[in-house]
Amino acid sequence: MRPSDRYHKWIEWSDRDDAYVGRCPDVITGIHGSDPVRLYDELCTVVDEVLTELERSERTLPKPLTRPMREVA
């Protein structure tokens, strides 16, 4: 398992930005794009790069706090 697999990532449409936004709030604020599939791949790459740089600089990785919503029965 890669370190980035511990962090919740998602893509959503933003009317305000008129684009898709990729989010991983425990690591980065977000990135924008027009293709949600390509954007998710880019989001995963950016999160991997940020975490790799934190590890290289011997900084502590952020604690994964954001979780997807659970279905309520």
pLDDT digits (tens, 9 = 90+) for 18-29: 999 999 999 999
Domains and their CATH numbers in the chain: 3-56 (3.30.160)
Q: Are 31 and 42 in contact (CB under 8 A)?
A: yes
**Mean pLDDT score across all residues of the chain:** 93
Looking at residue 71, what is its pLDDT? 65
The DSSP annotation for 33-57 comes to ES-HHHHHHHHHHHHHHHHHHHHHT
Q: In what order do the strands lie in the sheet with 28-33?
A: 10-14, 19-24, 28-33
Task: Read off the pLDDT band of 67 (50, 70, 90).
Answer: confident
pTM for the structure as a whole? 0.87
Average pLDDT over residues 36-49: 97
